[in-house]
Amino acid sequence: MIILRSRDSKEAQRKVDELMKIIRWADDYRMFKVADTKYVEASVQRICSSHLVAKWKRVKKDVTDMNEALTKSPLRRLIAIATIMRLVAMTSIMGFVMLFIVVALLKVALGLSYSAVVALVLICLVIVPNSYLYLDRYVRFRIREYHASLESRFLPRMRKVKEFAQDVIFHMNDVIREYDLNPDKCKFRLRHCDYEGVICVKKSRFSGLFVVKPLVK
């Protein structure tokens, strides 16, 4: 009997893990994160009740329309630019270190004056980084601006996506309660913390994500 109960608890924990994944996907959709809905649909049909399956089928159309609004928008170009700029920023750190080595070698090899060395350093350490920062701020502003326009346009649909995520949270909590699982072992990350049935444990300063756990009474 104990072995059977342990096996049921492990299966329930696996189900909760998959439900948390569905909740994260639905929460990401509220931030207009483009994602293939087939993975969500497969998980929902495999482990969720008929009520949630029916609700997902209604929400899927909204999610698809939201994804299409992103793929057909100028936001794709902005995101591509931001990605390239991020790579530039990462490689520039090593580049600046190499710069001093190269400048020192050039000064010795070419007999450059100190003014020429200072000019090279200023170009690489002041002009280039500041240009990157300005472009980065501009691109991020345009992305936020476009997101805001999409939010106002898709607000009713986003509410339905949130309602779906909320129903999955309630279902997850029912499973945790039924099998007496430990909520502390069911922590996961969300982009929003405006759901019932979960409590915020902490917020990441770097990513802005909320670490939450089920609130089971």
Helices (H), 48-182: 50-71, 75-110, 114-122, 128-153, 155-178
Tokens of 68: 């299409």
Nearest Cα to Cα of residue 190 among 171, 164, 212: 212
| Domain assignments of the chain as residue spans, ordered by start | 2-72+158-181, 75-152
Cα gap 132→155, rounded to integer Å:
33
Q: 3-class DSSP state for residue 217? A: coil
Long-range contacts of 72-78 (CB under 8 A, 24+ apart): 73/146, 74/146, 75/143, 75/146, 75/147, 78/139, 78/142, 78/143, 78/146
Residue reference for tokens 């979960």: 198
Tokens of 99: 């710069």
Tokens of 25: 């996907």
pLDDT score of 160: 92
pLDDT score of 2: 44
The series of mean pLDDT values per 10 residues for the chain, 217 residues long, is 60 93 91 75 90 92 80 69 67 63 63 64 62 72 77 85 96 94 94 94 87 92
β-sheet with 188-190: strand ranges across: 188-190, 210-214, 198-203
Cα gap 108→183, rounded to integer Å:
65
Cα gap 32→36, rounded to integer Å:
12
CA angle 197, 190, 185 (to 5 degrees): 65
pLDDT score of 93: 57
Cα gap 109→117, rounded to integer Å:
13
